[in-house]
Amino acid sequence: MQIPIVRLALGDAEIEAVSRVIRSGWVAQGPEVAAFEREFAAAMGAPFAVAVSNCTVALELSLRVAGVRPGDDVATVSHSFIATANAVVAVGARPIFVDIQPDTYGMDSAALARAITSRTRAILCVHQIGFPCDLPAILAVARPRDLPVIEDAACAIGSEIRIDGAWQRIGRPHGLLACFSFHPRKLVTTGDGGMVTTSDPTLAERLRSLRQHAISTPNPARHDSHQVALESFSEPAFNFRMTDLQAAVGRPQLARLSAIIAERRALATRYTEALADHPLLAPPTEPPWLRSNWQSYPTTLRPGGRMSQVEIMQFLLDYGVASRRIGNAHAEPAYATCAWSCGQEPCDHTAHAAGRCLRLPLSERARDTTILLPLFHGMSPAEQDYVLHTLRALPG
């Protein structure tokens, strides 16, 4: 049996949605994107949502509209997909990496406070693998310093956090802006795509402008006009649009989001129960103040085990079970220099040359001891049984 890390769950509803768009004759950004934005904003509890071509450009645009400029610093985490750091560099800023909390894989607020520099202009936190980071603690660091908080919520659609005694979905947003991904590994996919939510109407309007060349008259309005409309362009901008074909695929999945999360929670619960006494791998702990959407299921190596992370992942792969780990940007060739990784002096250049940073021990431990197991809605009991059987067969 071959068990992928994720499998697409697209069906007749998505096929009909795409057919509807094709029959309409309008496939670029148009009414489907507008409807998807309205429905997404309502589902997240956000006043505004702006669709873009992917989450990386969502992060880049959010940094730009938040006022980050070349030469600025952005406090963020290294323990994330490389796109988080890349978005910072794309606007000409420098990522200052902050260590994480071991239970949620999210930014540690105490480490964040120590990482703020005189050039820090924004905080980019990450809701990693569907586990919300400690937003109240992060906001408590940001607000006295008047620093905007941007949430990389690529993995966190439908995840919830308990704030002021009430459960709230990630994406209201709680910071200035929140950015989501519709990559195929996410709970809702449009093939690729992204969304930015905000409570600020001025920022929403600027995001809409920047995603479409800062054009004065968007295509649908120009198409429907009964008068000649001559466009103008207010500033250099970008082509970061989502298409109606993509939005149409996302809409029926968004309508099923609560059911998708419930199914994934049931799968996660079964993994957790089965791994409670596993000799090599420990299940995750979901803190009482968050509800993960279980975009991924992380296990961690127990101390004293006789197999390494890579050995376990290879054993699983040999039996047809895919797995993954989360890397650290600071240990990648693109960022493994003092200029990108520290923000403070003196620096142990030898540590960077060896691909590690002494200031991020928990990020490095998470990278080297966490294994993500297959978990996706549509996963059959027989498929999960096979994963569990393979895990029980691990030597040690």
Separation between Cα atoms, residue 77 and residue 84, nearest integer Å: 8
Chain Cα centroid distance, residue 121:
21
Q: Catalytic residue at 243?
A: no
Three-state DSSP class for residue 371:
strand
Instruction: Name the β-bridge partners of 149.
Output: 123
Strands 149-152 and 177-181: parallel
Interior CA angle at 124 toward 338 and 34, to 5°? 140
- Sign of the Cα torsion 358, 364, 366, 369 reads negative
CB-based contacts of 317, cutoff 8 Å, min separation 6: 323
* DSSP state string for 226-286: SS-----B-S---B-PPPHHHHHHHHHHHHTHHHHHHHHHHHHHHHHHHHTT-SSEEPP--
Q: Please answer whether residues 270 and 384 qualify as being in contact, where contact means their C-beta atoms are separated by less than 8 angstroms.
A: yes
Q: Is the peptide bond before 173 cis (omega within 30 degrees of 0)?
A: yes
Q: Please answer whether residues 174 and 135 qualify as being in contact, where contact means their C-beta atoms are separated by less than 8 angstroms.
A: yes
Exposed, middle or buried: residue 190 (CB in 10 Å: 0-12, 13-18, 19+)? buried
Q: Which tokens go with 84?
A: 């988080």
Separation between Cα atoms, residue 247 and residue 147, nearest integer Å: 33
Catalytic residue selected from 94, 186, 211, 377: 186
Q: Please answer whether residues 137 and 116 qualify as being in contact, where contact means their C-beta atoms are separated by less than 8 angstroms.
A: no
Interior CA angle at 154 toward 148 and 159, to 5°? 90
Strands 73-77 and 94-98: parallel
Interior CA angle at 372 toward 367 and 377, to 5°? 150
State which H helix or E strand residue 211 sits in: helix 201-211
Catalytic annotation, residues: 186
